[in-house]
Amino acid sequence: MRMTKMKFLYLGLVLSIVTLTSCDDDDPVPRITIGSSVTVTNTFESTAFTNGVETDIEDLFMLPAGSLAASANVGSGVEFPAYLLNLYDIDIDGNSIRFEVVAQTGDPTYGDLFRILEPATFDRYYLTFDNAQNVNGASSSNSSVNLRIDSGSVLVVEIGEGYDFKPGQNFTITLN
């Protein structure tokens, strides 16, 4: 009987160790579902350009409403290459959102706009998913960028005061 108890004790110890060591904290739970459809739209707000009113980017470029919206499925590649008339590459994966300025110095659309963003200036990117995602919060690699969660299916990347808007600038938002 004593030997049987020892075997059960030993088996319990081994199973506990295996269970605890098989949990991998390096593999975070995806916050965005791969394959989800997402649409990106953009607004801009500043005292200099919009009198402090959040304005659809199409209005600033004098284009038809919604004409700069883009849709894609979240996958392994860059979802929105050269989004917004060749301004940003936007890459979304299960646990992060990454923006990189791809417009170059002298770009005919953006070249004269490169600068450090002023107070009360907001460049917002609305990411609207076809279904609710599991995003509870986020951290940003750039202190002038944050993520606002409007609902389970709407995330807003908000670029604001102090952002150094220039070619090659990039940031990553890590989701939790």
pLDDT (tens digit per residue) in 15-30: 444 444 444 456 679 9
pLDDT at 2: 59
pLDDT (tens digit per residue) in 100-109: 999 999 999 9
Per-position DSSP letters for 127-172, written without gaps between them: EEESS------EEESSTTEEEEEEETTEEEEEE-TT-EE-TT-EEE
Cα–Cα distance, 107 to 165 (Å, whole number): 13
Residue 128 has pLDDT above 60, yes or no: yes
Residues ≥6 apart with Cβ < 8 Å to 128: 38, 39, 40, 41, 153, 154
> In this structure, is residue 60 part of a structural domain?
yes
> In this structure, is residue 31 part of a structural domain?
no
> In this structure, is residue 2 part of a structural domain?
no
pLDDT at 14: 46
> What average pLDDT does this structure show over 104-133?
97
pLDDT at 11: 45
The predicted model scores a pTM of 0.85
> In this structure, is residue 67 part of a structural domain?
yes
Residue 13 has pLDDT above 50, yes or no: no
Residue 76 has pLDDT above 60, yes or no: yes
> In this structure, is residue 23 part of a structural domain?
no
Contacts 24+ apart (CB under 8 A), 51-56: 52/120, 54/122, 54/124
> In this structure, is residue 15 part of a structural domain?
no
| Among the listed residues 27, 40, 99, the one whose alpha carbon sits nearest the alpha carbon of residue 73 | 40
Q: What phi-psi label fits residue 150: left (phi over 0), alpha (psi between -120 and 50 degrees) or beta?
A: alpha
pLDDT at 27: 60
Overall domain count for the chain: 1
Range of the domain at 107: 37-175
Choose between 149 and 24: higher pLDDT.
149
Report yes or no: 92 and 79 within 8 Å, Cβ to Cβ: yes
> In this structure, is residue 142 part of a structural domain?
yes
pLDDT at 125: 98
> In this structure, is residue 44 part of a structural domain?
yes
